[in-house]
Amino acid sequence: MKIANKTIQYRLKATNTAGNLENIDDTANVTLPSIEKMTDTQSGSGIMGEIDMPTFAQIGSMVFTISNRADTPQYSMLSRPGEIKFELVWVIDLFDTAGAKIGIQQHKLFMSGVNKTYGMGNVEVNAGADGSSEFEIYYLRKIIDGKEVLLIDKYNFKYVVHGVDYTSNILTALQ
């Protein structure tokens, strides 16, 4: 059995004003988007109380957050209007219990979105700025060790998990 332990290191890139991917250095951390389904509360005859039922294959807002130690020119570039593409790569360590070996696992996340907030942080003597920026994500693709495990493309109506497209039957039914 392989047990995932922790992140060893990560690298973040984002498209600059020319549309080219550029390293975003000196991030304190990033917070990955949560995949939250849109819901509606069911109640009435035949149901004991309430059920907050997720709507099939409908995903709410996905927010990606970058926290920074200092407000550099790279962060102000990320505040611009329009689409910004991100490439996040991180490596975690794994412990293989069968062979008592330690290995690594590569994770890649490709995202597209727009800037929602640009927090420049604080100005304080002998302290980091502790700013952060938030991005509304509408395209997300996650790859682990070269295999796609998740694809969400809101504008092209795709929700694919481990190769199963949960939206294809909806698109077929709408024809």
pLDDT, tens digit, for every residue of 99-129? 888 889 999 999 999 999 999 988 889 888 8
Q: Which of helix, strand or coil describes residue 121?
A: coil
The pLDDT, as a whole number, for residue 1 is 86
Q: Is the model's pLDDT at 72 over the cut of 90?
A: no
The pLDDT, as a whole number, for residue 147 is 98
The pLDDT, as a whole number, for residue 112 is 98
The pLDDT, as a whole number, for residue 55 is 92
> Residue 47 burial (CB < 10 Å; 0-12/13-18/19+)?
exposed
Average pLDDT over residues 144-163: 97
User: Class of the 2-38+56-147 domain?
Assistant: mainly beta
Domains of the chain, by residue range, sit at 2-38+56-147
- Taking the C-alpha atoms of residue 9 and residue 14, their distance in angstroms, rounded to an integer, is 17
171 phi and psi angles, rounded to 5 deg: -65, -40
pLDDT, tens digit, for every residue of 23-71? 998 889 999 999 999 999 999 998 999 999 999 999 999 999 999 988 8
